[in-house]
């Protein structure tokens, strides 16, 4: 069977979740609001930025400046430059997976490319990078994965495998009818029975080759 591997980026390929949420801590502290990075990671993994900001501004009853998101992106980019690392074991796993691969992310294209470049992962994916901002579809909408698969030349969902670390992305992969593997480092409960959870990237090649 042909296989197309569709990877999420943040938290799946690159260990960026804490840095992204640290950006929220830094920017909201400027407004006198104290956030907890661990709680942010648990609650918002995989969410669209605009929805996170809307939720936080509502929770703390604060109106964010118009340039808040742009300045947040600058902070995160600086954190990436100094601290971003690939997910442990991901390079070894990718080396053992000789299938067409793509990145499908809710993040903007410049952020995805920066992350892949800094972590030495760009060559695994080439130009096969799909951003929700370019497509106009955000997870958990399954059409983002359907679009990427078709653009890669895979028209049968059964030929595609989604690798995700957050429930929002897992839902998108599952509802697209694709085999979905959940890199579940935080042991979250997944309601989709066919989704396979795993805790370390060393397991990934075996799971994919067995699919």
Tens digit of pLDDT for each residue in 104-137?
999 999 999 999 999 999 999 999 999 999 999 9
What pLDDT score was predicted for residue 210?
87
Helix/strand/coil for 24: helix
Contact 119, 86 (CB under 8 A): yes
What pLDDT score was predicted for residue 1?
56
CA 166 vs. chain centroid, Å, equals: 7
Sheet architecture: strand order including 101-105: 129-131, 101-105, 4-7, 160-164, 179-183, 196-198
Q: Is 159 considered catalytic here?
A: no
Distance CA 28, CA 207 (A): 40
Contact 92, 201 (CB under 8 A): yes
Contact 21, 37 (CB under 8 A): yes
CA 210 vs. chain centroid, Å, equals: 24
Digit-by-digit pLDDT tens for the chain (211 residues) are: 569 999 999 999 999 999 999 999 999 999 999 999 999 998 998 899 999 999 999 999 999 999 999 999 999 999 999 999 999 999 999 999 999 999 999 999 999 999 999 999 999 999 999 999 999 999 999 999 999 999 999 999 999 999 999 999 999 999 999 999 999 998 999 999 999 999 999 999 999 998 8
**Which of the residues 8, 10, 141, 165 is marked catalytic?**
8
Query: Does the bond joining 119 to the residue before it have cis omega, within 30 degrees of 0?
Result: no
Q: Which domains does the chain have, with CATH numbers?
A: 4-15+85-209 (3.40.50.1000), 17-83 (1.10.150.240)
Number of other residues whose CB lies within 10 A of the CB of residue 64? 16
Distance CA 195, CA 27 (A): 35
What pLDDT score was predicted for residue 186?
87
Distance CA 196, CA 37 (A): 27
């Amino acid at each position: 069977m042909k296989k197309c591997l569709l990877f999420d980026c943040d938290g799946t390929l690159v260990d960026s979740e804490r840095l992204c949420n640290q950006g929220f801590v830094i920017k909201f502290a400027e407004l006198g609001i104290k956030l907890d990075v661990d709680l942010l990671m648990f609650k918002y993994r995989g969410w669209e930025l605009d929805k996170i900001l809307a939720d936080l501004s509502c929770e703390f009853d604060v109106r964010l400046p118009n340039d808040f998101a742009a300045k947040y992106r600058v902070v995160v980019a600086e954190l990436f430059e100094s601290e971003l690392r690939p997910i442990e074991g991901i390079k070894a796993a990718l080396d053992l997976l000789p299938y067409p691969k793509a990145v499908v992310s809710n993040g903007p294209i410049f952020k995805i490319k920066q992350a892949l470049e800094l972590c030495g992962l760009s060559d695994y994916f080439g130009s096969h990078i799909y951003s929700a901002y370019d497509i106009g579809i955000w997870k958990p909408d399954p059409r983002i994965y359907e679009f990427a698969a078709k653009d890669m030349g895979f028209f049968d969902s059964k030929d595609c495998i989604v690798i995700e670390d957050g429930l929002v992305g897992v839902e998108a992969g599952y509802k697209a009818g694709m085999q979905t593997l959940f890199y579940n480092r935080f042991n979250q409960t997944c309601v989709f029975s066919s989704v396979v959870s795993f805790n370390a990237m060393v397991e990934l090649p075996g799971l994919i080759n067995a699919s």
